[in-house]
Amino acid sequence: MDNSEEPASNIIVDSKESAFYLDAAKYWEQVPPTVDGMLGGLSSISDIDLKGSQRFLNSIYQLVECPGKERALDGGAGIGRITQGFLMKNFPVVDLVEQDKQFLEEAKKSLEPTNHKGQFFNLGLQKFTPETCVYDIMWVQWVLGHLTDEDLIAFLKRCKLGLKPRGLIVLKENLTSSGEVEMDNTDSSVTRPRALVVELINKAGLRIIKEQKQQRFPSDLYEVRMFAIQPV
């Protein structure tokens, strides 16, 4: 299924969808398509983040049943910060999924002078269905808080179908330390506790095979963890 044929609109959600999605789309529409915009003014952590992701990916490839290294997906790709700064160094083909048209156009522009190969899908993860059995790694970072629990489970179930044999999904997300879900009304997102993230992963028919905390982030930020998950 080629989702690149979806109509290109800055706000993809329609009137039948909840205000949770519409408010988030409106928020991100006002954010500048820059690294600082993507990271909420914390562009200084970008390099630390990318290096932490690379170390985690390296550790995945030390597993006995490790994935291939041909094609990856950047879920919630924004302006392509992760694609260009990390994924392209490991995979010859990287597809990008991003709801905001402005961000995706910026990604295309910044990737044009590189050797990037891959598709661009202009829609939210709650609507994205990957092609069957094509991805070695599906990297989904700092975007699952924009999905409801129900849509997150459904998204992960669809992702399973997009994985090659031995393929993995990697989730990299903020986690609350309170044990409760915390709502951010500014960008219409939630931050979940680890226990709930694990529960939703399991409900989608997936299991965690490796988990690691992101190191060297400022202490006043949420804890960030990476989860490598695969079908049960």
**Per-residue pLDDT, 11:** 41
- Helix then strand then coil, in percent of the chain rounded to 5, is 35, 25, 40
pLDDT at position 108 is: 98
Structure tokens at 112: 């044009």
**Residue 119, annotated as binding a ligand:** no
Rounded distance, CA 215 to CA 68, Å?
Answer: 26
Residue pointed to by tokens 């959600």:
13
- Per-chain mean pLDDT for the chain: 93
Distance between CA atoms of 220 and 66, rounded to whole angstroms? 34
Q: What is the pLDDT of residue 223?
A: 98
The pTM is what? 0.92
Q: Is 125 annotated as a binding residue?
A: yes
State the number of CA atoms in the 13 A half-sphere of 96 facing the CB: 27
Local structure of residue 141 (DSSP, 8 states): E
As given in the structure block, the two tokens for residue 153 are 């489970």
Task: Give tens-digit pLDDT for 54-111.
Answer: 999 999 999 988 999 999 999 999 999 999 999 999 999 999 999 999 999 999 999 9
The angle at the Cα of 176, spanning 231 to 143, to the nearest 5 degrees, equals 55
Query: Residue 215, Cβ neighbours under 10 Å: how many?
Result: 10
Q: Which residue has the tokens 């992963």?
A: 201
Q: Could you tell me if 181 and 191 are in contact, meaning their C-beta atoms sit under 8 angstroms apart?
A: yes
Q: Is 152 annotated as a binding residue?
A: no
User: What's residue 1's pLDDT?
Assistant: 42
pLDDT of residue 17: 63
The alpha helices in 128-185, defined as continuous H runs, are 149-162
What is the pLDDT tens value at each position of the chain, 232 positions in all? Answer: 444 444 333 444 444 468 999 999 999 999 999 999 999 999 999 999 999 999 999 999 999 889 999 999 999 999 999 999 999 999 999 999 999 999 999 999 999 999 999 999 999 999 999 999 999 999 999 999 999 999 999 999 999 999 999 999 999 999 999 999 999 999 999 999 999 999 999 999 999 999 999 999 999 999 999 999 999 9
Helices (H), the chain: 19-29, 35-38, 46-60, 81-85, 101-111, 149-162, 194-203
pLDDT of residue 3: 46
The answer to whether 67 and 133 have CB atoms below 8 angstroms apart is: no
For the chain, which domains are there? 10-231 (3.40.50.150)
